[in-house]
A and B are shown apart, each in its own frame.
Chain A
């Protein structure tokens, strides 16, 4: 029995030790440092949910994580600087000139000389032509930006000399919108010599660029370990101001709480997917700062005009008028969003600052009376999960239900997965549908077209709102090249949609980040990236 007792004591200790999980260790403080990462000191570590990654090829990718990473790998002819999305600046092109040839608009780009790719190859006009033609030929997710929005065909892009590229657009396409498309990742110029050498089976090198890179940006892709991490390393041949970071590591960490913990412990530099709860928890913590940045999303309710009485413009105005927008932003979003009621988000040219609606029950009721409506019952489709800005979709729906109940409108909330909701919405079968929208490219046309043009078979169509006059005004505004005239045209359009359209635009959410205090120069652009070459730590 004595030995058993001894064994019992040993086992009890073992249990305790097992409970304490072994010897103390300091995570992240390991001695052996990955040489490719360049060491912890100069590598920026970003925790982010990167489960959306499909490819790092600029002609293929269209996912948020890939856009963020590769924006720092490939340079574009023209670009937006920092967080400003209203002024196009020079990128690989020093100048661009739009010329009306009578039947088309030709844009001539003059390239900067002396620029090199990470491989050491010079950046030439042939590379630009190859990159655009390659994206059109591959015809992957982002290709519609060239082919549908800009009406561009492969033959429309030509190099007239080693530093000059001419792109010829049909008159139906907006040259202003096309320039903004060129700032996006699809406009990334690839090293044609490098990519051609990696082609296999006519894949235009997409197999190689899936997890490698051939760009001239401040960073290049070191590796992408699926489901784990993407490492970018500084490109020594970058022609701009060299980044102070030796690398940037995107770690796939889907849980916001884990991101918060890792940030507080100093194991990472930036937490990319924080919600209001994590931001609140981080407030006042030593060594950590929080950043709230704009997004270009709009959270809205679509009102299907083919269902009575939503066909009545006064009923729609009454629903808009009854909503407590300030309450949503303050109480549900905890301030992580802005009250925006127009169809163009803040940050884009043409955004309308007007917010005429705020929980005016008396006015809403009188609008319903004018419309001859007293008791209305509607079905309200709502996604599951969390809405942009951090509130749950169900809380938003409950708030709207209560606001509308105050004016005698009963809504029956039907919560379903986003995929299901979209299937119903796309089939014009939703009555009231709450969802969000983000523009495909940073130009007002990317919102005004879908929201107003029934023929685009997008949001306007889904809500059965066919208003040919406003649709034509939208198409005309897209083609205006003078910024002042264009802004005036969009003001006119958004004012009209504000009171006549089938939308209750609820808010524009913010994006929340946690940063270690020593991280400087991190400026999030609402299009979905930060320029990491400017970041120091």
Chain B
């Protein structure tokens, strides 16, 4: 029952966040001194075309009425029509979201698989070369701009060395797998198409490393500091005194306890991956939500910007909720609160 109460409070919270985000984004996008009509219709449009466009997108109505129309549409699952692509925003999001999910999950995987061992390694060799190395790489990862890193890795691994593809989700002349999940790697596996699987995996490497580097750095630093804290605990000494091997002491008693704060930030990390995808996708010609958002923002395509923002506003707290639920079960102390 305590868990159900917790879950209900969080879901209500998410709903409140959604309403808040929709109002703020709607207000910002409609009060900034930029005219989406001029952006959409350009230099040549006649006054009649401009008026017709304003009417079509309800831009000739008072702001509260526009918001109400938007919210009523939302309640019916209608996110409006994109000014740039002239398609329903929901369709656009449906098309571009799987690519972003695939990239973000791959980046998250990089962050976990590289970040956690790096943090542990760094803590164990505190003050020595491996520690300095990990801390230096983490410092770089935390401060390097994503777009710059993206251009550098494309320049090095695609252009100079020719080891990996420099953009897109799959090779030009490889047929994408039949869409079931929209995630090429999963779909290739489901279709048993090894060639598509290989191609889509290779195409994932550079963007996932670029996008995941920052999160890797955060996770490595977080794991390092919590690991250092755990290493000094009494129960670690006890474990060693019991005669356990150092490997077991570190992995079973140390890492397990040190991971709890790391798990907590995974939700936040996933959210930051989504925002990082905006630049990564543009650089890597990745047909996802980030690139869609960039194009929408440049075109002052407010319905699309709102759609992306709302989607992000759902994903962010939902990812955190998933983590919190996991945390709820992982750490019995949280159940008492």
- A contact set with B: CB distance below 8 Å: 1, 3-4, 7-8, 11-12, 14-15, 18, 20-22, 24-28, 30-37, 39-40, 43, 45, 51, 54-55, 144, 148, 225-228, 249, 251-255, 257-258, 261-262, 264-265, 267-268, 417-420, 422-423, 426, 435, 437, 440, 450, 457-458
Contact = CB atoms under 8 A, between A and B. Distances in A.
Nearest to A40: B173
B39 A418 contact: yes
B166 A3 contact: no
Q: 10 shortest A-B CB distances, which residue pairs?
A: A27-B165, A419-B39, A227-B287, A32-B195, A422-B38, A419-B38, A30-B171, A34-B175, A423-B35, A261-B159
Contacts of A265: 158-159, 162, 166
Interface of B: 33-36, 38-39, 42-44, 46-47, 49, 84-86, 92, 95-96, 110, 114, 117-118, 121, 124-125, 130, 151, 153-155, 157-159, 161-169, 171-175, 193, 195-196, 198-199, 202, 205-206, 209, 245-247, 250, 282-283, 285, 287, 291-292, 295, 300
Of B161, B166, B172, B300, most A-chain CB atoms within 10 Å: B172
A253 B282 CA distance: 9
Contact of B38 (A25, A226, A264, A423): A423
Contact of A54 (B86, B165, B250): B86
B254 to A, nearest CB: 11
A15 B157 contact: no
A274 to B, nearest CB: 15
B278 to A, nearest CB: 13
B208 to A, nearest CB: 10
B195 A249 contact: no
B72 to A, nearest CB: 23
A253 B117 contact: no
Contacts of B154: 257-258, 261
Contacts of A1: 246
Given A21-B209, A258-B166, A28 B173 contact: yes
13 contacts: A3-B247, A14-B114, A27-B164, A148-B46, A228-B169, A253-B167, A261-B155, A262-B166, A420-B34, A422-B42, A423-B38, A426-B38, A450-B44
Given A4-B250, A27-B164, A419 B202 contact: no
Given A30-B173, A265-B159, A8 B125 contact: yes
B158 A25 contact: no
Contact of A228 (B157, B161, B166, B168): B168
B46 A257 contact: no
A34 B167 contact: no
A18 B114 contact: yes
A146 B161 CA distance: 53
A32 to B, nearest CB: 4
Contacts of B165: 25, 27-28
B184 to A, nearest CB: 12
Of A1, A45, A226, A227, most B-chain CB atoms within 10 Å: A227
Nearest to A24: B163
A252 B295 CA distance: 12
Nearest to B99: A227
A26 B231 CA distance: 45
A181 to B, nearest CB: 14
A25 B195 CA distance: 13
Contacts of B157: 21
Nearest to B124: A4
B234 to A, nearest CB: 21
Contacts of B163: 20-22, 24-25
Nearest to A440: B44
Contacts of A249: 172
Contacts of A258: 154, 166-167, 283, 285
Of B49, B110, B196, B199, most A-chain CB atoms within 10 Å: B199
Of A12, A418, A457, most B-chain CB atoms within 10 Å: A418
B285 A254 contact: yes
A8 B123 CA distance: 12
Given A27-B158, A27-B162, A435-B43, A252 B202 contact: no
